[in-house]
Amino acid sequence: MASPVKITLLADNTASLETLAEHGLSMLIESGGRRVLFDTGQGKVLRHNLDALGISLAPLDAIVLSHGHYDHTGGLADAIEFGLPDAIYFHPAAVAPKFVSTRAAQPRSIGMPPSALDALSRFRGRIVHTSHPTEIVPGIWCTGEIPRSQPLDDARNIFFLDSQCKQPDPLADDQALVIQTPRGLVVAAGCTHSGVEDTLAQINRVSGCKPIHAVIGGLHLGDASADQLDSAARAIRNAQCEFIAACHCTSLAAQAYLRNHLPERNR
């Protein structure tokens, strides 16, 4: 039988009375006596927020990285030090160099910072690669690489694998975490670079279409068009998801859109 789950947001773009904010995401998931850290934020607020919330990461069964961007991996060295996890789970492509380029800014590196890569090199014996759906602990699993229903739109893509920004990054490392609960599946999303629709479709394939109770995390809808917002809302509605807590890269405008179009599901 699935266990109740507790999810504590340790880093996000929005501050609270207790916690500081940064552009990043980290959440601690506790279920059935197991403790899993999903992402580590940039690392600028993790230590402060743990202290402010009175939370110790130790003991920690696992760290799972949603993908290799700095705002999800920058706190990895501290997280390993604080939590001493049994294992670290991520897609092999997460450690590849990553860059972003837009018309408004010069190309810049957004991959794992050196501190995270160094920490992984010293933790090599307990790394688990997640190209495919993988159980993390009983009742918690990750999607692995998410098949895309649409090919990468190179004209709109701002993510690259090289500093010259000539080789688009397909973001194959993007994955979500899924927790079994008595009320259905809870989806913890890092950035949902694969799209809300394809992410939920992958979860349906792997779970055998088990009910999805909640989606929590970043939905990467900051610059989404009206059609893209409508498609994301429709996918959440079709999944009969009962609860949404969209944060991090979702954007206030997209949060407002989802609240207006799915009012009974937003918190």
Question: How would DSSP label each residue in 111-140?
Answer: S--HHHHHHHHHTGGGEEE-SS-EEEETTE
- Token pair of 82 as six digits: 């604080």
Residue linked to tokens 């920490």: 119
H helix runs in the chain, sequence order: 46-53, 70-73, 76-83, 114-122, 196-207, 226-238, 252-261
Q: Residue 9 carries which side chain, given as an amino acid letter?
A: L
**pLDDT at site 124:** 87
- Is the pLDDT assigned to residue 250 strictly greater than 90? yes
Mean pLDDT of 208-230: 94
User: What are the two backbone dihedrals, phi and then psi, of residue 8, each rounded to the nearest 5 degrees?
Assistant: -115, 125
Summary count for the chain: helices (H), strands (E): 7, 15
Amino acid at 124: R
pTM across the whole model: 0.96
Which pLDDT score, from 0 to 100, does residue 247 have? 97
Asked whether 100 and 107 are in contact (CB, 8 A), the reply is yes
pLDDT given for residue 263 in this prediction: 76
List the structure tokens of 134.
């993988």
Q: pLDDT at position 39, please?
A: 98
Predicted confidence (pLDDT) at residue 153 exceeds the cutoff of 70 = no
154 has a pLDDT exceeding 70: no
- Looking at residue 86, its amino acid is D
pLDDT of residue 167: 95
Phi-psi region of 211 (alpha: psi -120 to 50; beta: other; left: phi over 0): beta
Q: What do you get for the CA distance between the two ends of the chain, in Å?
A: 27
